[in-house]
Amino acid sequence: MSETHWATARRWVAEALGLSGFVAFSLSAAVLAQLGVLPTLAADALVPGLVILALVYGLSDLSGAHFNPAVTLAFALRGSLPWARVPGYLAAQFLGACGGVWLVSACVPLPKAHELVRPWGAFGLETVCTTLLLVILATAKRKAEVGSQAGLVIAGTLGLCLFTAGSVSTIGVNPTRTLAAALFSGTVLASWPHLLGPFAGGTLATGLTYLLRGPLNQQEAETAKGQAEAGEGSSS
């Protein structure tokens, strides 16, 4: 197998393992919160934020640490990720999310969704939170001086979104995480706000990033694909 093929395989494995871990820890924390073992704040915001922090530091050089199809598609729209790579990223993320949900569901019942807002309200929350997350993410990956602190910036933004919006809706800011859980619980149709909202937010964030930051730069492109690739000279 050529080095290019190995690099592709590493990207897919990193995305699958990363999202599997994120989903498993997040769902487990939600289960513990419903059982009264964990405070709701810790389950909704702190645990997901800490997991993302660890994953960004541990795997970002391999795949760019997307762990989210809305992030992947936003990077492709932005031009920092080749469209030819998108299907592989999405497939790896879906398999990883399903693996995480399966692991939790094999041990305990999945947590129940809570919705204190109407479907369009949930859609709006997902859109706004995803837009904020991706604009911040693009800035963190664009500026070399922020690169070493990108994990903190991304984790903090995600935790803030989940803390504020998660109190009134089952916000995920990640459609693959939502889809995997909905498939296992049989609630796919009812989950449409959380499936479509992040993609709307990703599209909006792409436009806002161009308006605020202008065209793509080299640092942004390299970190979106994984910094390890820069040494390989790959452009595929």
Domains and CATH numbers, the chain: 3-226 (1.20.1080.10)
CB neighbour list of residue 39: distance below 8 Å, 6 or more residues apart: 33
Per-residue pLDDT at 23: 97
pLDDT in tens, 99-151: 999 999 999 999 988 899 999 999 999 999 999 999 988 877 666 444 457 78
Burial call 152-180: b when 16+ CB within 10 Å, e when fewer: ebbbbbbbbbbbebbeebbbbbbbbbbbb
Query: Would residue 173 be called left, alpha or beta, if left means φ above 0 and alpha means ψ between -120 and 50 degrees?
Result: left
The whole-number mean pLDDT for each consecutive block of 10 residues of the chain, a chain of 236 residues, reads: 81 97 96 92 91 91 92 93 95 98 95 91 97 88 58 90 91 94 94 96 94 82 68 42
Per-residue pLDDT at 235: 37
Per-residue pLDDT at 234: 39
